[in-house]
Amino acid sequence: MSKILVIAEHLGGKLNPSTARAVSAAAAAKPEAIDVLVLADNADAIAAEAAKIEGVSRVLTVTRAENAHALAAVLAPQVAKAAAGYSHVFAPSTTFGKDLAPRVAALLGVAQVSDVMAVEGSHTFKRPIYAGNAIVTVEADPAQTVVATIRTASWPAAAIGANGTPVEALNLDVALPSYTRFVELKQGKSDRPDLQGASKVVSGGRGVGSKENFEIIYKFADRIGAAVGASRAAVDAGYVPNEMQVGQTGKIIAPELYMAIGISGAIQHLTGIKDAGTIVAINKDAEAPIFEIADLGLVGDLFKIVPELEAALAG
């Protein structure tokens, strides 16, 4: 029977929802046990959150001052050491997981399976290729530890229970690299929902026209309580910061409602929203590719349509 170790992602003392999605993927492999590994300088509160995720057998903690910041070079040797006795090591396919998992795989001397969107068996997985235009089935070597990143947009978050599972502290005797050090963390702050986990997202594209015009997107998103995203074209044009980018080279999301305003629908953008529930497109170009995948489409000037929608909501 397989045993899966899920690496917890956290920031600011709080567990990232991507961890619960990775646990869902782990459960699909029907393992004997699913353990969550928390690496932090103070793991107590994070471990308590992880312990309430349904399906988790144990939460393992590694508390070291060096783990105060999520540096892949520092965390990877610890994960590789903790992975002894596990058949699988899963991490969310977020910036955190994409940075960490390849290092863990290299230290274990195995190939990595990326962006797992479906589990067909304990060592058989499906993942997207060619910007999501094709799905490939891959089979990992059963004789080796499987290191995989989980496409979080393809998995629901595991339920949160009332009672926590056991939490155990690990004391790993592993030397950590001294060539990597933390300098600073720059991140955008917003009162809006987090783009990665929001149930509603409003995104603007090049068609919005300017950084100043993007206020129409912010205003409408605030009206419906949505997170705000953007296409790569809008980011490259300087309308918004790159942490708002949705798509293959940005964030891959799966909201219940996705509104694409002034976005033509390049394949790289569509890759990031293919798991969305309902897609609404607003564009003046009736031939825009976004309309091919949209559930609802409005052809016209966004600067007329969006205020009209907002007025309708207000009424």
What does each C-alpha distance from 120 to 20, 126, 131, 275 come to in angstroms? Answer: 20, 7, 21, 19
- Cα–Cα–Cα angle for 101, 198, 45, rounded to 5 degrees: 60
Element (H, E) at 128: strand 124-129
Is 265 annotated as ligand-binding?
yes
Is 165 annotated as ligand-binding?
no
Per-residue DSSP letter, 87:
S
Is 25 annotated as ligand-binding?
no
**How far is 115 from 245, CA to CA, in rounded Å?**
18
Is 245 annotated as ligand-binding?
yes
Element (H, E) at 125: strand 124-129
Is 267 annotated as ligand-binding?
yes
Is 104 annotated as ligand-binding?
no
Is 79 annotated as ligand-binding?
no
Is 121 annotated as ligand-binding?
no
What distance separates the 2 farthest-apart alpha carbons in the chain? 63
Nearest CA to 18 out of 196, 145, 193, 180 is that of: 196
Check if the beta carbon of residue 299 is closer than 8 Å to that of residue 280: no
Q: Show the tokens assigned to 60.
A: 């393992």
Beta-strand pair 134-139/14-15: unpaired
Q: CB count, 10 Å around CB of 292?
A: 11
Is 315 annotated as ligand-binding?
no
Is 217 annotated as ligand-binding?
no
Nearest CA to 22 out of 141, 122, 101, 116 is that of: 116
Is 206 annotated as ligand-binding?
yes
Is 283 annotated as ligand-binding?
yes
First to last CA, the chain: 58
Is 231 annotated as ligand-binding?
yes
Is 144 annotated as ligand-binding?
no
**How far is 43 from 15, CA to CA, in rounded Å?**
10
Those residues with Cβ within 8 angstroms of residue 163's Cβ, 6 or more apart along the chain or in another chain: 52
Is 266 annotated as ligand-binding?
yes
Annotated binding site for FAD: 206, 231-232, 245-249, 262-269, 283
